[in-house]
Amino acid sequence: MNSFRAVRGLLAAGALSVVAVLGVSTPASATPPNIPDKTTAVNELNGLRVQPDGSSAGYSRDKFKHWITIEGSCNTREMVLKRDGTNVQTDSSCAAKSGTWYSPYDGSTQTSASAIQIDHMVPLADAWRTGASGWTAQRRQDFANDLSYPQLVAVKGAVNESKGDKSPDLWKPPLTSYWCTYAKMWTHVKSKYSLTVNSAEKSALQDMLGRC
């Protein structure tokens, strides 16, 4: 895919503002793209297959190639930093040199890109256990770098590390007011990629969506 088509596709999906593509400054939105409304999320959750998680045998993060080059010298992480940050300034290699990032999971504000990690909404290891173990390498790469769905979120590093690869029955954002949005994003991603949920996970998501 050539760079023009890549950028055009990201813009069409609402993943980036024109400003972010040009590597200049501020994003069009402080949230990931394509977050569904509650009704859509509830319907999607009801459509997911419920079954116990599979094995982690054979899992490796290396099987989900990331971060890939998206445009010019900018990789997926750098694109999300620009998208989710405010007044983000980058150098010639696309690295964020300054800016402000609101971490939606805990409500904190960070002023250093080094304090920010890009969370996979549905963790790679969870995806592996719930269907991705049978995917092609290309589909796993697409999943790990998905800018068109709410799969990538810029958050404070310590919060992302506390989440690890846990599903919502085992970990929820510290900021309870974000639970509704979190559940909508998680469900939407699992629905797009036809991943399964276990019964405890589904119950947790139903409770979180009930807070919307």
pLDDT in tens, 59-73: 999 999 999 999 999
pLDDT in tens, 132-150: 999 999 999 999 999 999 9
pLDDT of 189 over the 80 cut: yes
**Token output for 129:** 């256990």
Closest CA to 21 of 34, 44, 3, 45: 3
pLDDT number for residue 100: 97
pLDDT number for residue 20: 33
Q: What is the sign of the dihedral through the CA atoms of 47, 55, 149 and 63?
A: negative
CA distances from 109 to 94, 100, 154, 175, 188 (A): 22, 7, 11, 13, 26
pLDDT in tens, 62-117: 999 999 999 999 999 999 999 999 999 999 999 999 999 999 999 999 999 999 99
15 against 143, higher pLDDT:
143
Question: Is the distance from CB of 79 to CB of 154 less than 8 angstroms?
Answer: no
pLDDT number for residue 167: 98
pLDDT number for residue 7: 37
Length of the chain: 212
**Contact residues for 45 (Cβ-Cβ < 8 A; gap 6+):** 187, 191, 197, 202, 205, 206, 209
pLDDT number for residue 22: 31
pLDDT band at 31 (very low <50, low <70, confident <90, very high): confident
pLDDT of 157 over the 60 cut: yes
pLDDT of 9 over the 60 cut: no
**23: region left, alpha or beta (phi > 0 left; psi from -120 to 50 alpha):** left
**Contact residues for 91 (Cβ-Cβ < 8 A; gap 6+):** 97
- SS3 of residue 126 by DSSP: helix
